[in-house]
Structure 1
Amino acid sequence: MPEMHVQFVNLVSGSHLQVGEGLLSCTPSVQTSQTFALFGRRIMLIDTPGFDDTTKSDTEVLKMIASSLADA
């Protein structure tokens, strides 16, 4: 997730997800924000490694996302 998107997630949710700098990937695994209320509903945002990750193949990233969603 681009740097400013993670900063936004941290701001609205009160989370402390890692924010990367530059072009190197910094999200090693699927991470979830703290839940927060929005219009009377509980919201949780999800940060995932991106496709074209500098350390993982697209297949590995997709498997991580699928596994995390299946566990949820």
Structure 2
Amino acid sequence: MPFAVAGTDLVATMAERVARRFATAAGVSIVPVPYDVEAFTIDLLHARRAVADPALRWFIELVNRVCKEF
């Protein structure tokens, strides 16, 4: 999202950790939301064929493993 809104009059709401990682590279500013935001979950969706594709299966397992570290 930071790259999508860079150089426009658009805004995006996103996880602070992700925003901080890309803000400088995208040349955008981070401004706190003026209200409390409840915790949220992130889901990984994939096509049924991913189960049979070794590359997609590897990627899904990698994402799951990395997410468990947080």
Fold match, TM over 0.5? no
The structure, 1 or 2, with the larger RCO (C-alpha pairs under 8 Å, 6+ apart) is: 1
- TM-score of the superposed pair, with normalisation by structure 1: 0.31
Q: Which structure has more strand as a fraction of its residues?
A: 1
Q: Which structure has more helix as a fraction of its residues?
A: 2
